[in-house]
Structure 1
Amino acid sequence: MKKYLLAAGALLALGTNAAFAHITLETQEAPVGSTYKAVLRVPHGCEGKATTALRVQIPEGVISVKPMPKPGWTLQTKKGKYEKSYQLYGETLTTGVKEVDWSGGNLPDEFYDEFVFRASLAADLPAGQMLYFPVVQECGDATDRWIEIPAAGQDEDALETPAPGIKLLPKK
């Protein structure tokens, strides 16, 4: 019996380590039509090197993005046109943040940190589906691209470098 428990514990530990091997979002579900606080968890660097930059692509339907500055890091946003217009607090939005970039920092491989932004999830996003935020992590001359999005019916666990994502819940 002890052998089975040890084997199960070892498998659980391996599975847990795999789950923490990539960049994830702290809150992995949110209702459409709500405000969402995205906390990107960065558990390691690239190939043992310190993280020096993090870029996150903002998917269509995520609007009014406001990133949180980090001491010691330069924060920039790239803006562009939305594919369609969105209504938010009585205003029509046609452009907004399409990418958030934190750079110039130094997050050693042996440490963990979080990168945060706030946004509104458009009310017409499809509840029940996943919404992905591709991330590029730079570590000097090394780069990890957390950009894979599963194809229809594909298991997310089968991806080598999955993009962090959230499940869209029905509007409250």
Structure 2
Amino acid sequence: MNKYLLSAGAFFIGTSAAFAHITLETQEAPVGSTYKAVLRVPHGCEGKATTAVRVQIPEGAISVKPMPKPGWTLQTKKGRYEKSYQLYGEAVTSGVKEVDWSGGSLPDEFYDEFVFRGTLAADLPAGETLYFPVVQECEGAAERWIEIPAAGQDEDALENPAPGLKLLPKK
């Protein structure tokens, strides 16, 4: 009986590690819509407290506005988009390319969320996945959730997958 319990325990430890990365709370949204991204941070790095979360905003996610977080410093890095997008009848050519929350402390034994919202450009390809690479910094360590699967590669095969958002057809 004990060997079965050990096997079951090993299974759950193995599967929890696979699901212990930063993810998006809502993992699908229609193109052309406003999207509220909630990054779920389930743990620190190697038992150490999280002190910074940086997310790269992919092309096609425009007009991004992050939510301030008490106890954390919020900064954005802006830049030009690869092309011009239409938003409320106006051409948009630049905006937030990265959001950084830093200076806080999220102990390893606690969970938290980091939030921003933006618009998913109407010309993004429905059926594909948009990835938001995240770097999680901790006291003397870091986790880089930045891997994007190659064409035909299963996301579950990645060790440090970037959070992904499946793009649905426009409503």
The TM-score bracket by the shorter chain reads over 0.9
The alpha-carbon deviation at position 13 of structure 1 amounts to 3.3
Deviation digits for residues 54-87 of structure 1 (CA, Å, limit 9, x no counterpart): 0000000000000000000000000000000011
Structure 2: distance between partners of 1:47 and 1:27: 26
Amino acid at match of 2:71: G
How do 1:110-149 residues align onto structure 2 when only pairs under 5 Å count? 110-149=109-148
> What is the correspondence of 1:73-152 to structure 2 with a 5 Å cutoff?
73-152=72-151
CA distance in 2, matches of 1:147, 1:132: 9
% of aligned pairs identical? 83
**CA distance in structure 2 between the aligned counterparts of 1:84 and 1:107, rounded to whole angstroms:** 37
Deviations 1:100-159 (A, max 9, x none): 000000000000000000010000001000110000000022011000000011111110
Give 1:166's aligned residue: 165
Q: Distance in 2 between matches of 1:79 and 1:169?
A: 27
Change (3 A) 1:131 1:50: same
**Residue identity opposite 2:113 in structure 1:** E
**Structure 2 gap segments, 5+ residues each:** none
Counterpart of 1:154 in structure 2 is 153
Per the normalisation by structure 1, the TM-score is 0.92
Q: Which residue of 1 aligns with 2:20?
A: 21
| Structure-1 residue corresponding to 2:70 | 71
- Distance in structure 1 (CA, Å) of the matches to 2:120 and 2:11: 34
Relative to 1, partners in 2 of residues 1:7 and 1:50: Cα closer, same or farther, differing over 3 Å? closer
Aligned length: 170
* Root mean square deviation, CA, Å: 1.9
- Relative to structure 1, the CA distance from residue 35 to residue 111 in structure 2 (aligned partners, 3 Å threshold; closer, same or farther) is same
Instruction: Check conservation: 1:20, 1:43, Cα contact below 8 A.
Output: no
One-letter amino acid of the structure 1 residue matched with residue 19 of structure 2: F
1:79 and 1:127 mapped to 2: Cα distance? 26
8 Å CA contact 1:56, 1:136 repeated in 2 = yes
Q: Look up the SS of the partner of 1:17 in the other structure.
A: helix
Q: Distance in 1 between matches of 2:158 and 2:97?
A: 24
How far is 1:20 from its partner? 3.0
Deviations 1:26-68 (A, max 9, x none): 0000000000000000000001100000000000000000000
* TM-score computed with the length of structure 2 as normaliser: 0.93
Could you tell me whether the CA contact under 8 Å between 1:55 and 1:100 is conserved in 2? yes
Structure 1 counterpart of 2:43, which letter?
H
Post-superposition offset of 1:14: 4.4
Change in 2 beyond 3 A, CA 1:139/1:7: closer
